[in-house]
Structure 1
Amino acid sequence: MPTFLRCLPLGLLLLLSWAAHPLVAQRRDFTGQYQPLRRIQVDTRREGDSLRVYLYFPDGSVLQRGEPLRVAVWENYQAKRPLWRTTVGQLARRIHKAESAAWVEFCVAAAAVQPGQVLSASCAPENEADTGDAAWLSISRERLARPFLLTDSLGDPLLRRYVRRGERFLIDCYGPDKPTTAKHYDASFVAALPPMSTAGAPPQQRKLPARDSLFFRAGQLLTLSQPGLYALRVSGTAAPVGLLVTDEDFPELNTADELIQPLIYLTTSAERNALREAAQPKRAVDQFWLKVAGGNQTQARQLIRTYYGRVAAANQLFTAHKAGWMTDRGMLYTVLGAPETVYRTATEENWVYRGTREGSTTYTFRHKPSTFAPEHYELVRRPEYEMLWYAAVEQWRKGMTTARSGR
């Protein structure tokens, strides 16, 4: 990928005084990170003494409203003032259009950011630039060191941890293309357990057995035909990157088995077995929802759109080592919808839902990163969630759940 953009000089960043900017007045709400049509996606690549940042805006028009692209680095997610901030120059020249979306790239000096700090970027008015709707990126040692980026076949940033079976992609490495290994792992992951299950998630193998390995060079177009979990390692780099290979329609679900699997949150095992063993499983799934809706076809279609729409959104947001709907955050997102408020720290996320029997309920997720899922969070399960969970499931079973955005 061409690297024609100049990096922001470190000296300029250090001269921009944080004292000239007001404090962030309220606790920052990150709900916008869980609205796929609003979320600004971000990825990076290390290039010598610079860190190149890629931003993808689902609504590309926000880059053409006359606002500068504002960049800041913070001590943590709760910080009231940034350590430094600046604006990216010549924004119009940096915009790459992709239908109604657009992406931009720019550099900051690698010495200007440290592991544990958080970078934000937004093309919004100054009084809105530091909200949770901006792009937010936690800076890790691995991210600061990684000299490559996953892109699609055209060289545009992939910005996701999955590719579809047969989809062409490449590893765009800064500098010479290096030998690369893709290890395919034999691993099966299960859906998240309910939030009141004090047993937590079932234990996984500490070391996954590799089924096979592929060898190629970075910069070479690659397709992976076998679904599953892969680890991509570029020669000379310390850490591999995890990649999930999915079916062709992902994040949407289309086959009978794909439609039945997420019903684990609403049904018994006997009900799911009956759906799978039906003469026409897809028709049986439709009949399940029609029965839930009391025979009302319009309501049944709305329930299907809402439930599987949430499943697809969870796949977009949370997929890493397994499909997003199977993760702890994906489970709540699917059954309860997008959270109404999200607070973040370096190690936790707190999702707040209002309008429950308790008035307001908070679910806490703790950051538990791994090679395959650096943004993985696990729910802190509590017995007191049992009544709330069954009440939500009952709403679905009675056909009473309606779509809501979380805001």
Structure 2
Amino acid sequence: MKYKGLLSFFFAFAVLSACKVQNKTSVNSESLTSRKEMKKELNPFISAMKVEYILKDSTEIVVFLDATIENLESNEINSIEELADRFRVTWALQAPTGIKEKYESGRVNFEEVEASLLDQKLNMVFEIPRLREFQEASLSMEFIDISASRKFTNESYVDFNAQRPNRRFGMYLENQDIPFFDAYVNVGNKVTFKSMDGFEHPLVLKRYRTEAPAALSPMSSSKRNELAGFREEETIKFKSGEELRLDKEGTYVLYDQEKFDAGYGFMVVDERYPRLSEEEELTEPLVYMSTNDEINNLKGAEDFKKALDLYFLNMTSGNQALAKQIIRSYYRRVKRANELFTTYKEGWKTDKGMIYTVLGPPSRIQRNGMREVWLYSQSANFSEIIFTFYRKPNQFSEDHYELVRYPEYGAYWYPFVEAWRTGSIME
């Protein structure tokens, strides 16, 4: 039968995708180069920048910066010293919203901070002041290419009160001396939460059973409680500096022992994540490109593997080669969305993950304190498409963003969905 060949490909693709991706990058800020420009670029440029921080004491904050810098070898830049000759790095703490009032600023000297360069990955650890007169700020990082007279910018949010425990306790994987900032950990890993003051502090880790739904469509007017499907299953009391082995999958939330209003949520996942491999997992992301009847047929099928093959074959009028291409491209997008946007739930289920899965990476991103704007370049069929996300922290996360939805998005959304279903979107 036709579906058998596709079935073999489908699950071979899932199994071969089992390796864990170690190096992850966040979506770039507004001044970072677009993909098309990257291919033509000869000068070194920053294709991704990720900034995290942990409160050190009452006066200092420790900043951890990861940047991916392309074209280093072709420009004969192979060391921190050579990088310092090419780039000047500055930081500025400024108002998170409205007029960008600058609170304080400074320069990061490569020679005076902890810095390493391996292949194209730059890691830097340095300190900035904790401003007692402000509750929050936007931290702007600028890499200025001295030779090419241009700059690369990233903005991130800073809470000077450090209400979230992850801003006071770093999560360390076994045998690592740098905090781990990814929002998912593979099941069976050992982790330690450490305070930079060196003292023991009582902490609580709660494990939740998760039933987080996929994001609502960009045109939806519905409202729902994102956390309604979470059920607490286990409470672990421990002290900072104590090693824990995370043997059960689920959403974990770190709290101070006496403070349960603002936690830090992360996921404990199987060894194949961010790739999906389980049958039910493979079905769920199809909601973004399927009708309700198609999803219900998949969920109610007695032979899931056969039903999934038939789903793609029916979509492509029996064209197995095209079905394989759609499978490969679509689940690659899902994997990347998991890498970039996982918080207390899978990345593809977030509003950002939904847009990324269907439309791909934006041409530009503008960050402004509590807001993030994604812009997709004008094409032959569309004018520039703009999606706006607002940061709306909840009990589990400070990185929860919600899309501003409009009925007018349907004019863009449905053609992209149809492009997936006809095999017009390939990577």
Matched residue, 1:332 = 355
- Aligned partners of 2:422 and 2:98: how far apart in 1? 40
Matched residue, 1:390 = 414
- Aligned partners of 2:204 and 2:139: how far apart in 1? 30
Describe the shift of the 1:159–1:252 C-alpha distance in structure 2 as closer, same or farther (beyond 3 A). same
After TM superposition, the score normalised by the length of structure 2 is: 0.75
Describe the shift of the 1:315–1:74 C-alpha distance in structure 2 as closer, same or farther (beyond 3 A). same
- Aligned partners of 1:243 and 1:251: how far apart in 2? 13
Describe the shift of the 1:348–1:225 C-alpha distance in structure 2 as closer, same or farther (beyond 3 A). same
CA contact (8 A) 2:130 2:160 kept: no
CA contact (8 A) 2:212 2:230 kept: no
**Which one-letter code corresponds to 1:177 in the other structure?**
E
Matched residue, 2:56 = 47
- Aligned to 2:244, the other structure's residue is in SS state coil
Describe the shift of the 1:47–1:82 C-alpha distance in structure 2 as closer, same or farther (beyond 3 A). same
Among 216, 222, 235, the residue aligned to 1:213:
235
Among 98, 107, 130, the residue aligned to 2:127:
107
CA contact (8 A) 2:191 2:246 kept: no
**Which one-letter code corresponds to 2:67 in the other structure?**
F
Matched residue, 1:361 = 385
Offset of residue 363 of structure 1: 2.1
Q: Which whole-Å deviations, capped at 9, do the CAs of 1:140-187 have from their partners, x for residues lacking one?
A: 244388321122221322122222221222212112132221011244
Bigger relative CO (Cα 8 Å, ≥ 6 apart): 2
- Aligned partners of 2:34 and 2:348: how far apart in 1? 16
- Aligned to 1:155, the other structure's residue is in SS state coil
- Aligned partners of 1:382 and 1:213: how far apart in 2? 40
Which runs of 5 or more structure 2 residues have no equivalent in the other structure? 1-28, 39-45
CA contact (8 A) 2:185 2:269 kept: yes
CA contact (8 A) 2:92 2:104 kept: yes
Aligned-pair identity in percent equals: 29
Aligned residues: 371
Q: Which whole-Å deviations, capped at 9, do the CAs of 1:87-139 have from their partners, x for residues lacking one?
A: 2234486224667534221111213883332112244415444x4xx342211
Q: Larger % of strand: which?
A: 2
- Aligned to 2:389, the other structure's residue is in SS state strand
CA contact (8 A) 1:278 1:284 kept: yes
Matched residue, 2:250 = 228
Offset of residue 314 of structure 1: 1.3
Matched, 1:268 2:291: yes
Offset of residue 214 of structure 1: 0.9
Offset of residue 325 of structure 1: 0.6
- Aligned to 1:378, the other structure's residue is in SS state strand
- Aligned to 1:143, the other structure's residue is in SS state coil
Among 314, 324, 329, the residue aligned to 1:306:
329
Matched residue, 1:373 = 397
Q: Which whole-Å deviations, capped at 9, do the CAs of 1:172-210 have from their partners, x for residues lacking one?
A: 21121322210112442100111111114x334579652
- Aligned partners of 2:243 and 2:232: how far apart in 1? 23
Describe the shift of the 1:302–1:149 C-alpha distance in structure 2 as closer, same or farther (beyond 3 A). same
Q: Which moved more, 1:388-397 or 1:302-311?
A: 302-311
Matches within 5 A, 1:275-354: 275=298, 281-282=304-305, 285=308, 288-289=311-312, 292-293=315-316, 299-353=322-376, 354=378
**Which one-letter code corresponds to 1:378 in the other structure?**
E
- Aligned partners of 1:265 and 1:333: how far apart in 2? 11
Matches within 5 A, 1:147-296: 147-153=168-174, 154-175=176-197, 176-200=199-223, 202-204=224-226, 209-235=231-257, 239-275=262-298, 281-282=304-305, 285=308, 288-289=311-312, 292-293=315-316
**Which one-letter code corresponds to 2:95 in the other structure?**
E
Q: Which whole-Å deviations, capped at 9, do the CAs of 1:215-258 have from their partners, x for residues lacking one?
A: 22222222222222222124577843222222221111122222
Matched residue, 2:157 = 138
Describe the shift of the 1:57–1:205 C-alpha distance in structure 2 as closer, same or farther (beyond 3 A). closer
- Aligned to 1:243, the other structure's residue is in SS state strand
After TM superposition, the score normalised by the length of structure 1 is: 0.78
CA contact (8 A) 1:45 1:149 kept: yes
- Aligned to 2:211, the other structure's residue is in SS state coil
Please report the RMSD computed on the Cα atoms of aligned residues, expressed in angstroms: 3.4
CA contact (8 A) 2:263 2:397 kept: no
**Which one-letter code corresponds to 1:396 in the other structure?**
W
Describe the shift of the 1:152–1:334 C-alpha distance in structure 2 as closer, same or farther (beyond 3 A). same
Which runs of 5 or more structure 1 residues have no equivalent in the other structure? 1-27
Describe the shift of the 1:308–1:143 C-alpha distance in structure 2 as closer, same or farther (beyond 3 A). farther
CA contact (8 A) 1:180 1:233 kept: yes
Q: Which moved more, 1:219-228 or 1:98-107?
A: 98-107
Q: Which moved more, 1:88-97 or 1:263-272?
A: 88-97
- Aligned partners of 1:249 and 1:301: how far apart in 2? 20
**Which one-letter code corresponds to 1:386 in the other structure?**
G
Matched residue, 1:20 = none
Matched residue, 1:29 = 30
CA contact (8 A) 1:31 1:339 kept: no
CA contact (8 A) 2:65 2:123 kept: yes
Describe the shift of the 1:221–1:71 C-alpha distance in structure 2 as closer, same or farther (beyond 3 A). same
Q: Which moved more, 1:172-181 or 1:109-118?
A: 109-118
- Aligned partners of 2:324 and 2:380: how far apart in 1? 25
- Aligned partners of 2:333 and 2:296: how far apart in 1? 23
